[in-house]
C-alpha cells in the first residue's frame, strides 16, 4: 500500500482556517538515488516567434521509457530552470523533463517591450507548450511560476494534463515587501528614489544575492548543499552581466503586486475554479514568502485539487524536500492514470 499524507486540520496547527480533509497518495514506485552533487541539466534554445527561450532537458533514461510523457517545470520570481534540478532528475525515469527560463530570468533574454506581467509570462509558456511539446503535459510551477501555470491551465486546458502548484503566488490582502529577497526591489522603479535604490542593489555581490535567496526560501538554510550554493553564485555572477536582469526582476515583482490587487474576474482566486486539470497543491509549513495560510483556500477552489502540506519546509519544497515532493507528484500521475484522482 502506498503511504498517504493527510492534510488534516492538525497538519496546519496555528496556520488559520480549517482546511478540507484530503488524502494525497505518496507513490511507492522506486525513485533514483538523490545525487545533490549532480550539475544542472543541459540547456538549449527554443524559438517562440522572435523570442529565444532557454530550456533545460533531463536526459532520457536509456533503459526505461517515460511512461508518463512530458513534465514541464516553471520557476518562481528570481529563480530559474536550475530550481528543478533534483526533482526533475528524480522524476526523469517516469516523465521527460523540460524546465524553462521565463523571459528575463535564467538565460532567457526578454524582447524589447515585454511587460513581465503574469499574463505575458503565461502567453510565452503556452506558446512554448503548443510549439515544442507533445501537449498535454504535466505542468509544475513554483511561486510566480505557479501563478503562471494556473493561467495556462485555466485558459489553455488542452495543453495541461495535470497541474502541480508549489507555493503558488496567490494574492495576499496584506502584501509585505519584507518577504522579498530584498525589500528594496519594491522601490527600485519608483520615481526619484528608484535610481539610488538600483545603484545600491547593483553593488551586492553574487554571493550576497545567493545568500539572501537561500535565507528567505529555505526553512533550514544550512541544509542547502554547498555544491548547489556554488552553482547559484555562478548563475548570479553570469546574470550580473545582463543589462536586462535587474529590470526583469523589479518589473516582475511589481506585476505580482499588481495582480494581487486585481479584483473580480481577473483575480487568481476567481480563476482557480475554472481549472479542470487534476491538481496537486504543495505548501511548506515554514514558507516565509507565500504564507501556508493560503493553502487550504487554494486547494478548495480548484475543483480537482488535493492539498499536500510539508512540515519543516520553506518556499521551495521541490528543492528542500525533492524526494518527498517526487513521491507526491508520482502519486498524482499514477492516480490520474488509474482514474482515482
E strand or H helix that includes residue 71: strand 70-74
pLDDT of residue 226: 85
**Tens digit of pLDDT per residue, the chain (341 long)?**
333 344 443 344 333 333 444 578 899 999 999 988 888 999 999 999 999 999 999 976 555 556 789 999 999 998 999 999 999 999 999 999 999 999 999 999 999 999 999 999 999 999 999 999 999 999 999 999 999 999 999 999 999 999 999 999 999 766 555 555 445 444 444 444 455 545 555 556 778 778 888 888 999 999 888 888 888 888 888 887 888 988 898 889 889 988 988 888 789 999 999 999 999 999 999 998 898 999 999 999 999 999 999 999 999 999 999 999 999 999 999 999 999 89
pLDDT of residue 48: 95
Kindly compute the dihedral angle of the four CA atoms of residues 154, 157, 159, 162, in this order, to the nearest 10 degrees. Answer: 90
Which residue reads 493561467 in cell numbers? 151
pLDDT of residue 113: 96
Pairing state between β 279-284 and 23-26: unpaired
**Euclidean distance between CA atoms 323 and 309, whole angstroms:** 14
Other residues' Cβ atoms within 10 Å of the Cβ of residue 174? 6
Domains of the chain and CATH, by start: 3-337 (3.40.50.1820)
**Euclidean distance between CA atoms 217 and 235, whole angstroms:** 17
pLDDT of residue 61: 52
3-state secondary structure of 162: strand
pLDDT of residue 37: 84
Contact between 2 and 25 under an 8 Å Cβ cutoff? The reply is: yes
Which residue reads 544575492 in cell numbers? 209
Contact between 316 and 195 under an 8 Å Cβ cutoff? The reply is: no
Question: In sequence order, what are the beta bridge partners of 48?
Answer: 51
pLDDT of residue 36: 80
CA dihedral for 107, 112, 116, 121, sign (positive or negative): negative
pLDDT of residue 173: 61
Report which DSSP code applies to 37. Answer: T
**Euclidean distance between CA atoms 140 and 164, whole angstroms:** 5
Tally the C-alpha atoms within 13 A of residue 60's C-alpha that lie toward its C-beta.
9
Q: Which three cell numbers stand for residue 324?
A: 518527498
Amino acid at each position: 500500500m502506498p503511504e498517504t499524507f493527510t492534510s488534516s486540520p492538525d497538519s496546519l496547527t496555528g496556520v488559520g482556517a480549517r482546511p478540507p480533509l484530503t488524502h494525497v497518495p505518496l507513490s511507492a514506485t522506486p525513485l533514483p538515488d538523490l545525487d545533490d552533487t549532480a550539475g544542472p541539466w543541459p540547456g538549449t534554445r527554443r524559438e517562440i516567434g522572435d523570442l529565444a527561450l532557454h530550456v533545460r532537458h533531463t536526459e532520457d533514461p536509456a533503459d526505461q521509457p517515460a511512461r508518463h510523457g512530458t513534465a514541464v517545470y516553471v520557476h518562481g520570481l528570481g529563480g530559474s530552470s536550475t530550481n528543478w534540478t533534483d526533482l526533475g532528475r528524480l522524476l526523469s525515469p517516469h516523465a521527460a523533463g523540460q524546465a524553462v527560463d521565463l523571459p528575463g530570468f535564467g538565460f532567457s533574454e526578454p524582447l524589447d517591450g515585454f511587460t513581465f506581467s503574469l499574463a505575458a509570462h503565461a502567453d510565452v509558456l503556452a506558446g512554448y507548450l503548443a510549439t515544442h511539446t507533445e501537449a498535454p503535459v504535466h505542468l509544475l510551477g513554483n511561486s510566480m511560476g505557479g501563478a503562471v501555470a494556473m493561467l495556462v491551465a485555466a485558459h489553455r486546458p488542452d495543453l495541461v494534463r495535470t497541474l502541480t502548484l508549489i507555493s503558488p503566488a496567490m494574492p495576499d490582502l496584506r502584501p509585505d515587501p519584507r518577504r522579498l529577497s530584498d525589500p528594496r526591489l519594491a522601490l527600485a522603479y519608483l520615481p526619484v528614489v528608484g535610481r539610488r535604490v538600483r545603484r545600491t542593489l547593483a553593488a551586492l555581490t553574487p554571493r550576497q544575492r545567493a545568500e539572501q535567496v537561500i535565507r528567505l526560501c529555505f526553512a533550514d538554510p544550512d541544509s542547502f548543499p554547498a555544491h548547489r550554493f556554488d552553482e547559484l553564485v555562478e548563475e548570479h555572477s553570469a546574470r550580473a552581466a545582463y543589462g536586462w536582469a535587474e529590470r526583469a526582476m523589479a518589473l516582475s515583482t511589481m506585476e505580482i503586486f499588481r495582480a494581487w490587487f486585481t479584483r473580480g474576474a481577473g483575480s487568481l482566486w476567481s480563476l482557480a475554479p475554472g481549472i479542470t486539470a487534476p491538481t496537486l497543491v504543495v505548501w511548506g509549513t515554514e514558507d516565509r514568502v507565500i504564507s501556508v495560510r493560503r493553502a487550504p483556500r487554494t486547494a478548495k477552489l480548484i475543483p480537482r485539487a488535493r492539498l499536500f502540506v510539508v512540515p519543516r519546509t520553506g518556499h521551495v519544497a521541490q528543492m528542500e524536500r525533492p524526494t518527498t515532493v517526487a513521491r507526491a507528484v508520482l502519486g498524482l500521475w499514477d492516480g490520474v492514470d488509474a482514474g482515482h484522482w
